[in-house]
Chains A and B, each alone.
Chain A
Amino acid sequence: MANAPDQTSLFVDRFGPHPAYATEVHLETSGRIDRLVSTHCCFCGQQCGINLKVRDNAVVGFEPREDFPFNEGKLCPKGVKRYLQGMHPDRLLSAFERDDSSPSGFRPMTYERAVERVAAEIDRIQREHGPDAFAVLSGASLTTEKTYLMGKFARVCLKTRYIDYNGRLCMVSAGAGNKKAFGIDRAANPWSDIPKAEVVWIAGANVAECAPITTSYVWQARENGARIVVVDPRITPIARTCDLFLPVKPGRDIALFNGVLQLMIENDWIDGDFIERHTVGFDAVAEHVREWTPRRTAEVTGISEKAIRKAAEWWGQASTSFLLHARGIEHHTHGVQNVLGAINMVLASGRIGREGCGYATITGQANGQGGREHGQKCDQLPGWRDIENDEHRSYIASVWDVEPETIPHSGVDAYEIFRKIEAGEIRGLLSICFNPKVSLPDNSFVTRMLEKLDFFVAIDFFLSETAQHADIVLPGSLHEEDEGTVTQIEGRVIKINKAVDPPGDARQDWRIVQDIAHALGRPHGFSFESPREIFDELRIASRGGVADYSGITYEKIQKQNGVFWPCPGDDHPGTPRLFEADSWNPVAKGSGPFYFPDGKARMNVAPYTPPAEDVDDEYPLMLTTGRVVSQFLSGTQTRRIGPLVDQYPEPLCEMHPRLAEALGIRTGDPVIVESRRGTMRLPAIVVSTIRPDTVFIPYHWPGARSANQLTVSAQDPISKIPEYKVCAVRIRKEA
């Protein structure tokens, strides 16, 4: 509800961001180590295994963990330096209350008093304006236990329909596309299928920087003789030495997929038998793609006909293949259509559900997978159940021991929540594990909405840019301070182990949420004593659902080094590969491998539409945004780790020399980038590794350095994902 405090030196002294470096205890080579805790990295969806060195209840270093099969000790720079977030000077060690008379803008307060005040404000807002006037924003970096609890907290305790999460900015297009095509949303294959493929097709995924460990799988495929096809407007590190590079114009991926499918059909490079037995809707798709001749495809995508033909030939004639895509095709107003187009290529080839024949989206956030399964999405109940399905509602109501009709109905997506704030419908907000002020598009709007709230409470371990607007900040826990499960990129449920206790007055997030429920006088269903108890209830809640965790236990995860869901029974080993020919699922019930009543996959017509904001004379360039390897998402953690800050200290605007020459810009020159929503000033880096009609800015920074000042808030009509990957801008050299 408040403006963020002025970034005075006193504010920065207390809350940072301070870049932490290895100091005394980290540098001791004679250091005593109390124990080595085997756990996982806190950052991306790959969830690499890592061992943390613990001394005197503090994480003081790391040791590669070679026994986890996904990464076998490999780590990216973020994983290597993650240990520096322990003992961090910016760590919130008590609850804080906004106080303009305090020099830092915040005043510490007792935890108990803070929880009481939060409960009183929630109660007041809901009494005055109804239960839906208080909303919850959650995140996909929380453990699955916490995401489950957040969904339950919103529906059972707050009885609000408005809960959504930051996966909305990440995996939802893939999720919706997968759901439409396969009836289930999970990587269809474990990564171990990648090296067995003859063609690996990577669309819109900067694998080297956003999922670095996946690189070793791709290069292993190449050593086995595979051809690597990369679709990207930039020559990413993995594109540099790929076999075929398709420099697509941002926002035109669907045209490419349709064009390739057209050539596959034309040359009979399709698996008619598979299409016949296992899919529905091929004829309509074939009819639709007929117009996507190589020439038209080349015109729209900016990729040469020859390269398109080559790609279709390789993809069409392969006997095994793996298609990977990520935010590059998903962050669009037609993100779901892009995903469906990619899936059509896979289904037409018949190469899925077998060894070496795979398809997957590369999940971004730590628990991007688990976080989108158990009910913190606005339209979802645990086990991937539908909040509008009466059967699903009554099952979950029985687990939660409430009446089905008391469960609120479907809410709105995270961005729409801010529009509801603008409309005055939402007046209070609880946010955890989400930094929308940095991560949402057109973020000056988001800032205004945070200021407009009657009451805003944030649970955070560092004072994120969003939490700076809070009336009350509750000190939450870091990844290493709690245990729980996370479902990683492949659909493998893994176990996060607690290394240290939360310092000071900080506590585990699930305890905080339960304390609020108790303070509200609504404790029913919020008396868990441990993450394990939450997980046990989640297992029951997910039983019989698509995302069935009922056969997974902490012990089984430890024993098998992870369990792939669905795992419907105690003696079930889990399901590494989906859609195997004779597989059983609770939707098809034996009629086929896909998750529809007839057991068949759906091929959906995926029409091409240009981006929401195309270039014109006024704004003649395309801006695309993305990540760098040393930073993670909104940077709340990684901008506080010195060696990672040094690696890429500030955003740079990548542009092609031809464009730079026309604008009189050289590397290092400050440039002004303007869109219809905002303006930013940043240094240019002139590189011939990007299309000349496109510029790139990474998005990890706040305020004046935030790329999301420029991006457009247009959203996909199905998934509600914002179009981060393309908008129109103009650039000039700063005078």
Chain B
Amino acid sequence: MRLKHMTRLDIRPENLKATAWGTAATAVLGVLIVAGSRRLNHFDAALVGYTFAVLFATFGVTYRYAMWLMRPTTAIYWRRGWQVFLRPKYIGRNIALWIRHVGSDFVLNAFVFRRGKARWMAHWLIMWGCVLATAITFPLVFGWVHFATVTGDFGTYEAFVFGFPVSRFQIDSLIGFLTFHGLVWASILVTLGVMLAMRRRMRDRSAAAIQQFGEDFLPLILLFAISVTGLMLTASYTWMKGYAYDFLAILHAITVIFTLLWLPFGKFFHIFQRPAQIGVAFYKEVGRLEPPAHCRRCGHGFTSELHVRDLIEAERVLGYRYDIDGEVEHYQWICPPCRRSMLVLAQGRAWADELGTGVYPLGGESPDGVTPRFGNAGVNQGPLGSEDRDNFHP
């Protein structure tokens, strides 16, 4: 099966394809850096380490993203996601949906809130801190944005984007203060978020059971290191006359570069995967408008036919053989409650001779409505939401 295959080190077409995508993306970024900095005129040579780290991360992230999109189920979602998004019939609706999801999922992190308030607070602070920091530093590093004093007026700064002048402001104005300390604000957000996240990870027994150093603590430590060394840089030149500035600058660069290099491998990769949930939302939305699948054992509706057919295809690609001889055709056409019942019925049937119990066939109308039926309607005992109700008959 696929997991086993993946442990072998053979170069397959996917790897080559992904390498090509990675190379292309890196090249495009390289060109943009050269062009955006006006042939490196505005490129700060001190930042070359950062630049190469970013180029490496671009390659890594693109490679992994491409590999990820070639997984059978991801590929199906990717393809179907765009298909349903672009269907003329649904496009208006989809754009509205997209805007709503960007608001609730990205801006507010509402779904994280529902997973836990402490988790949400930490995530929201870290995310916005990082977004802000990235928005400031990357253009600066690439030379896409630079500031210069207006000729003859040392009190006024002019901002350039891709070499074009964009705006002017007084150095000692509020805007100036906010702009030049943007990274300080970002660091504060990140530091607070990291501390909250650390606190949760150290106290929470549920987190304690499954967390791993590399997956869960290292990212927090890296973010913390970047923020603290960055703040120390500011402190050094603001209040301490540049004490240990060079050392701190190198330390800061090391933390940032390490984080960039590590971007494609660990937890940070979710930053790139996560937007896929918006694609999933389109897929589900369209599924709801399409004909539902009916369980071929109990007749109850569950999910969309589209989804069942796609899964059957994905499972075939993955090497599964859930095909059933006869009119049911494929196990995927059986709803989850019937699967659970059949497992138990099959075990009970194996014991029937031993215990002298009867095995009674399905047939006729069940006076009780849809069966099998969930035994406990209690809060959070059965379905975990509207969608989950398909997994539990009434």
B381 close to A30 (CB less than 8 A): no
A647 to B380, CA, bound (A): 12
A647 close to B376 (CB less than 8 A): yes
A483 to B220, CA, bound (A): 49
A29 close to B205 (CB less than 8 A): yes
B369 close to A667 (CB less than 8 A): yes
A657 to B366, CA, bound (A): 10
Q: Which residue in chain A gives the minimum CB-CB distance to B202?
A: A30
A667 to B357, CA, bound (A): 26
Knowing A646-B379, A647-B376 touch, does A686 contact B357 (C-beta < 8 A)? no
A312 to B248, CA, bound (A): 91
A666 to B369, CA, bound (A): 10
A643 close to B367 (CB less than 8 A): no
Nearest Cβ in chain A — how far from B10, in angstroms?
Answer: 43
A241 close to B376 (CB less than 8 A): no
Knowing A666-B367, A667-B368, A667-B369 touch, does A30 contact B203 (C-beta < 8 A)? yes
A103 to B347, CA, bound (A): 58
Q: Does B238 sit at the interface, judged by CB under 8 A?
A: no
A726 to B376, CA, bound (A): 29
A243 close to B356 (CB less than 8 A): yes
Residues of A within 8 A of B368 (CB): 667, 685-687
Q: Does B152 sit at the interface, judged by CB under 8 A?
A: no
Give residues 10-35 of A contacting B (CB, 8 Å).
Answer: 21, 29-30
Nearest Cβ in chain B — how far from A222, in angstroms?
Answer: 8
A646 close to B205 (CB less than 8 A): no
A646 close to B206 (CB less than 8 A): no
Give residues 313-370 of B contacting A (CB, 8 Å).
Answer: 351, 355-357, 367-369
Q: Which residue in chain A gives the minimum CB-CB distance to B352?
A: A241
| B379 CB contact (under 8 Å) in A240, A642, A657, A660 | A642
A646 close to B377 (CB less than 8 A): yes
State which size class the interface on A falls in: 10 to 19
A611 to B264, CA, bound (A): 79
B367 close to A686 (CB less than 8 A): yes
Q: Which residue in chain B gives the minimum CB-CB distance to A242?
A: B355
Q: Which residue in chain B gives the minimum CB-CB distance to A687?
A: B368
Nearest Cβ in chain B — how far from A670, in angstroms?
Answer: 16
Nearest Cβ in chain A — how far from B101, in angstroms?
Answer: 28
A657 to B377, CA, bound (A): 24
Q: Does B71 sit at the interface, judged by CB under 8 A?
A: no
B378 close to A646 (CB less than 8 A): yes
Give residues 667-715 of A contacting B (CB, 8 Å).
Answer: 667, 685-687
A667 close to B367 (CB less than 8 A): yes
A685 to B367, CA, bound (A): 9
A591 to B225, CA, bound (A): 86
| A30 CB contact (under 8 Å) in B200, B351, B356 | B200
A660 to B357, CA, bound (A): 26
Knowing A30-B204, A30-B205, A667-B367 touch, does A241 contact B378 (C-beta < 8 A)? no
B367 close to A660 (CB less than 8 A): yes
Give residues 84-110 of B contacting A (CB, 8 Å).
Answer: none
Knowing A241-B355, A667-B367, A667-B369 touch, does A647 contact B206 (C-beta < 8 A)? no
Nearest Cβ in chain A — how far from B393, in angstroms?
Answer: 14
B355 close to A643 (CB less than 8 A): no
Residues of A within 8 A of B379 (CB): 21, 642-643, 646
Nearest Cβ in chain B — how far from A640, in angstroms?
Answer: 15
B206 close to A29 (CB less than 8 A): yes
A673 to B357, CA, bound (A): 34
Q: Which residue in chain B gives the minimum CB-CB distance to A648?
A: B376
A666 to B367, CA, bound (A): 7
Nearest Cβ in chain B — how far from A273, in angstroms?
Answer: 33
A647 to B369, CA, bound (A): 19
A243 to B200, CA, bound (A): 53
Nearest Cβ in chain A — how far from B168, in angstroms?
Answer: 51
Residues of B within 8 A of A685 (CB): 368
Nearest Cβ in chain A — how far from B196, in angstroms?
Answer: 12
B357 close to A241 (CB less than 8 A): yes
Residue interface bits A28-57, CB-to-B below 8 A is 1, else 0 = 011000000000000000000000000000
| A646 CB contact (under 8 Å) in B203, B367, B376 | B376
B355 close to A243 (CB less than 8 A): yes
Chain A CB within 10 A, most for which of B367, B368, B376: B367
A667 to B381, CA, bound (A): 23
A686 to B379, CA, bound (A): 25
A535 to B357, CA, bound (A): 50
A657 close to B355 (CB less than 8 A): no
Residues of B within 8 A of A666 (CB): 367
Residue interface bits A215-248, CB-to-B below 8 A is 1, else 0 = 0000000000000000000000000110100000
Knowing A660-B367, A667-B369 touch, does A643 contact B381 (C-beta < 8 A)? yes
Q: Which residue in chain B gives the minimum CB-CB distance to A29?
A: B206
A520 to B141, CA, bound (A): 90
A30 to B202, CA, bound (A): 9
Nearest Cβ in chain A — how far from B6, in angstroms?
Answer: 34
Residues of A within 8 A of B381 (CB): 643, 646-647
Q: Which residue in chain A gives the minimum CB-CB distance to B368?
A: A667
B367 close to A657 (CB less than 8 A): yes
A647 to B379, CA, bound (A): 10
Q: Which residue in chain A gives the minimum CB-CB distance to B360?
A: A688
Give residues 634-657 of A contacting B (CB, 8 Å).
Answer: 642-643, 646-647, 649, 657
Residues of A within 8 A of B206 (CB): 29
Give residues 154-213 of B contacting A (CB, 8 Å).
Answer: 200, 203-207
A686 to B371, CA, bound (A): 14
A169 to B130, CA, bound (A): 69
Nearest Cβ in chain B — how far from A178, in angstroms?
Answer: 32
Residues of B within 8 A of A649 (CB): 377
Residues of B within 8 A of A646 (CB): 376-379, 381
Nearest Cβ in chain B — how far from A546, in angstroms?
Answer: 41
Knowing A241-B355, A243-B356, A686-B367 touch, does A643 contact B204 (C-beta < 8 A)? no
Residues of A within 8 A of B357 (CB): 240-241
A240 to B359, CA, bound (A): 12
Nearest Cβ in chain B — how far from A645, in angstroms?
Answer: 8
Nearest Cβ in chain B — how far from A545, in angstroms?
Answer: 45
Nearest Cβ in chain A — how far from B346, in angstroms?
Answer: 15
Nearest Cβ in chain B — how far from A175, in angstroms?
Answer: 35
Give residues 598-657 of A contacting B (CB, 8 Å).
Answer: 642-643, 646-647, 649, 657
A578 to B204, CA, bound (A): 51
A24 to B206, CA, bound (A): 15
Residues of B within 8 A of A29 (CB): 204-207
Residues of B within 8 A of A241 (CB): 351, 355, 357
Nearest Cβ in chain B — how far from A216, in angstroms?
Answer: 17
A656 to B356, CA, bound (A): 23
B378 close to A643 (CB less than 8 A): yes
Nearest Cβ in chain A — how far from B348, in angstroms?
Answer: 8
Residues of B within 8 A of A660 (CB): 367
Residue interface bits B121-148, CB-to-A below 8 A is 1, else 0 = 0000000000000000000000000000
Give residues 192-244 of B contacting A (CB, 8 Å).
Answer: 200, 203-207
Q: Which residue in chain A gives the minimum CB-CB distance to B355?
A: A241
Residues of B within 8 A of A642 (CB): 378-379
Nearest Cβ in chain A — how far from B207, in angstroms?
Answer: 8
Q: Which residue in chain B gives the minimum CB-CB distance to A657?
A: B367
A363 to B207, CA, bound (A): 43
Nearest Cβ in chain B — how far from A687, in angstroms?
Answer: 8
Nearest Cβ in chain A — how far from B85, in angstroms?
Answer: 38
Residue interface bits A276-319, CB-to-B below 8 A is 1, else 0 = 00000000000000000000000000000000000000000000
**Extra 4 A-B pairs, beta carbons < 8 Å, given A647-B376, A685-B368:** A643-B379, A646-B379, A660-B367, A687-B368
Q: Which residues of A contact B (CB under 8 A)?
A: 21, 29-30, 240-241, 243, 642-643, 646-647, 649, 657, 660, 666-667, 685-687
17 example contacts (A-B, Cβ-Cβ < 8 A) are as follows A30-B200, A30-B203, A30-B204, A240-B357, A241-B351, A241-B355, A243-B356, A642-B378, A642-B379, A646-B377, A646-B378, A646-B379, A646-B381, A647-B376, A660-B367, A667-B369, A686-B367
6 A-B pairs with the lowest CB-CB distances in the bound complex, closest first: A646-B378, A30-B203, A29-B206, A30-B204, A686-B367, A29-B205
